[in-house]
Structure 1
Amino acid sequence: MQQTQESLKKITIGVVLAAGMGKRMNSNIPKVAHVLFGKPLVIWAIESLIQAEVYKIVVVISPKQKMVEEIISNYSFEKKVEVKFAYQENPLGTGHAARCGLDGVEKYFAGAIKNQSNFNILIAYGDTPAVQGATFINFLKYHIEQNNSFTILVFQAKNPYGYGRIITDNNKNFVAICEEKDCTDEQKKITLSNSGFLCANYKEMKKILPLLKNENAAKEYYLTDIPLLSKNAGGKIGYMIGHDEAEFLGINSQEQLLEMEKKFQEKYSE
């Protein structure tokens, strides 16, 4: 069933994960507060969602990051958007951050979601500023049209080193996300890579999040485990291939910030 953009925005709430301090930035300010082409990273991330007409957003931050909260609260967005904050007290991984975000959705947008049993959650990242609004629109439409429990936004990487690989069967159906450190030599040759962006049916996400375990070296809850858990529980998992790898580059260091600055100068100075 085709969905209009008008209906998309009514049934999608954005959750922006932005609680990481970003130690590799070698800076005393939070990673997402760093400025890229005149705007903090987190503002670019929120504006990408707004371009896709996602006007209800929960930003997950650390309670120590009052600076991030102030940046967002004091920013004048062009469109009317409701941005609320959820707090991740302890850095227990992306899966835990998503759970904090979902708690925020239920706390702040209870009225809006009361009669929307099938609304969706779009997980985005405060340190990934280059995603186009059009990409999110296509992603949401694909997720809804396929009637998926979870849809992963993926891309073909020129050099997939460091990315989670999308494992598929002979019919190109989703099997699992395998992190670099866990890949066999054969799996490391796979170029289909995980961007981290995830669209989820709310009910399915609420069901699967409590099943996450932290049985790994870091003792963290990984968002990347969710699609497989859902698949094993009978959920329908799909993926959409994004066209431009450059959209999904996260900022983890000053060098990467400088590279992205050059890209934005070229793009927005045309």
Structure 2
Amino acid sequence: MALDVIVLAAGQGTRMRSRRPKVLHEIGGRPMLSHVLDTARALSPERLHVVIGAGADEIRRCHAEVADVSWVEQPEQLGSGHAVLQAMPGVSDEATVLVLYADVPLVGTATLEACVSASGESRGVALVTAEAACPEGLGRIVRDVEGGVAAVVEHRDATDAQRGIREINTGILAAPGALLAELLARVGNDNAQGEYYLTDVIAEAVADGVPVAGLPAADPEEVLGVNDRIQLAEAERHYQRRNAESAMRAGVTLRDPARFDLRGTLRAGVDCVIDVGVVLEGSVELGADVRIGPHCVIRDSVLADGVTVEPHTVIDGARIDRGAEVGPFARLRPGTELGEDTRV
């Protein structure tokens, strides 16, 4: 079945205290929206829609090279349900529609595939949930006796018993296109904010007897939303921890995984050793037995087997042949090529 993905990226992000659109703030050196688009593409959607509003021109400029996105503008920010409605004219009734958020940058493909699959099998609604250690202020998932989702209850409306529930709604959902359009058409804005909430489609679906499945995220950290700079920093650390674990599984020793930063891609041979405070940017390729000392920056470079980089060295756009030694306190500029066993 065809898949349409709608990414919501129209919010102002006032809590970021920034002149930049929230979705352009970076995780691992790339805008949050770019991470979400890459994850969406991994699902091979037929169409990819991004709803933009605040800072729309800047968002488009930042993604000027993107050719596979249909940009949809939400002139007034009237809630998540209203945002999805703006994209629905470009969505096929026969497709499964997956709704994502540009400020939830770490969500994984496995979680999204499970959500899309559940909706496709039941022809109903599927939403991604998570177990929250501190669910204060979040919508709780209330399940029926068969394990389906009976309701999503906002914290302010929850009973004491419901506030004890730790399973929360992430907002990510999938539904058949025709069904989602029908449910959205019945969502009103009779609330204090006067907005149309996507979450309200759950109540409409339950009232109609439409099956609603709740799929727990594979990792609660992957559905963390970013609303301020504190949460941005937390998401950055989660992202870098993933990178560190991936590198270590591939045979790289990290002296302190909590002080490793990858802002691009890394290909590394076995038995490399990376000390604390190292930042890797762009495309970095390391051969086997490469040793990188503390507080180095390596950008868009290739280091062959046995290269040693001493502390406080900057390597930018260089190719270094096997056995070379660079640093400490050295700088290699773009286009530099060092031969075998060279010392700088």
- What range describes the TM-score normalised by the shorter chain of this pair? 0.7 to 0.9
Aligned ranges for residues 126-205 of structure 1 at < 5 Å? 126-145=102-121, 147-205=122-180
CA distance in 2, matches of 1:200, 1:243: 20
Q: CA deviation at 1:157?
A: 1.5
Q: 1:33 aligns with which of 24, 27, 37?
A: 24
Q: Is the 8 A contact 2:12 2:54 kept in 1?
A: no
Aligned ranges for residues 82-121 of structure 1 at < 5 Å? 82-103=68-89, 105-106=90-91, 113=92, 117-121=93-97
Could you list the per-position Cα deviations for residues 29-60 of structure 1 after superposition, in whole angstroms to 9, with x for gaps in the alignment?
10001111111000011111112222521000
Aligned ranges for residues 1-80 of structure 1 at < 5 Å? 7=1, 11-62=2-53, 64-75=55-66
Q: CA deviation at 1:143?
A: 1.9
Aligned ranges for residues 253-268 of structure 1 at < 5 Å? 253-268=228-243
Larger radius of gyration: 2
Q: 1:215 aligns with which of 158, 179, 190?
A: 190
CA distance in 2, matches of 1:238, 1:265: 32
Secondary structure of the corresponding residue to residue 199 of structure 2: helix
Secondary structure of the corresponding residue to residue 200 of structure 1: strand
Could you list the per-position Cα deviations for residues 174-214 of structure 1 after superposition, in whole angstroms to 9, with x for gaps in the alignment?
21111111111111000111011010111101111111111
Aligned to 1:110: none
Structure 2 unpaired stretches of 5+: 248-344
Secondary structure of the corresponding residue to residue 88 of structure 2: helix
CA distance in 2, matches of 1:175, 1:137: 22
- Going by fraction, where is strand more abundant, 1 or 2? 2
Q: CA deviation at 1:164?
A: 0.7
Equivalences, count: 245
Secondary structure of the corresponding residue to residue 41 of structure 2: helix
CA distance in 1, matches of 2:138, 2:213: 18
CA distance in 2, matches of 1:101, 1:45: 17
Structure 1 unpaired stretches of 5+: 1-6, 76-80, 107-112
Residue 123 (str. 1) matches residue 114 (str. 2): no
CA distance in 2, matches of 1:67, 1:202: 30
* Structure with greater contact order relative to length (CA < 8 Å, sep ≥ 6): 1
Secondary structure of the corresponding residue to residue 95 of structure 1: helix
CA distance in 1, matches of 2:107, 2:173: 13
Instruction: Tell me the TM-score normalised to structure 1 length.
Output: 0.86
CA distance in 2, matches of 1:192, 1:64: 33
CA distance in 1, matches of 2:54, 2:157: 32
Comparing 205-214 and 17-26, the one that deviates more: 205-214
Aligned CA RMSD, in angstroms, stands at 1.6
Segments of 4+ moved more than 3 angstroms: none
Q: Is the 8 A contact 1:131 1:247 kept in 2?
A: yes
Q: Is the 8 A contact 1:50 1:133 kept in 2?
A: no
CA distance in 1, matches of 2:175, 2:148: 17
Residue 206 (str. 1) matches residue 197 (str. 2): no
- Going by fraction, where is helix more abundant, 1 or 2? 1
Code of the aligned partner of 1:132? G
CA distance in 1, matches of 2:148, 2:49: 31
Secondary structure of the corresponding residue to residue 160 of structure 1: coil
Instruction: Tell me the TM-score normalised to structure 2 length.
Output: 0.68
Q: 1:248 aligns with which of 223, 226, 251?
A: 223
Comparing 133-142 and 42-51, the one that deviates more: 133-142
Q: CA deviation at 1:136?
A: 1.3
